Amino acid sequence: MKLLRVIAVASIICAPAVYAGGKTDADHCTAKINQLDSIERSEGSGVHGGVATDIRKLIAQAKEAREKGDGKGCLTAANKALSLYKTASK
């Protein structure tokens, strides 16, 4: 029974890596940028003033990092923009 538990736990821990399917940070970043662009097209920025400016700057930073091949930097900026949008639109 212990062996079965170990196998079950190992499969749960490894599942995210398997389902990622070899996607890179740049692929995930592109998906986040597309999500942010879609939000802006459908809802407008959703926020006004300084927060909207901050979100646009973060999106621009993410796009610049993607162009430079910096997947981690791109993903970081895109995630910050998305979380900022979510907190501002509550």
pLDDT in tens, 24-56: 766 788 888 888 888 777 766 555 677 778 888
What is the predicted pLDDT for the residue at 18? 45
Which residues contact residue 73 at a Cβ distance below 8 angstroms, ignoring those fewer than 6 apart? 61, 62, 65
The proportion of the chain whose per-residue pLDDT surpasses 70, expressed as a percent, equals 62
Q: Say whether pTM exceeds 0.75.
A: no
pLDDT band, residue 60 (cuts 50/70/90): very high
Radius of gyration, CA atoms only, the chain: 17
pLDDT of 64 above 90: yes
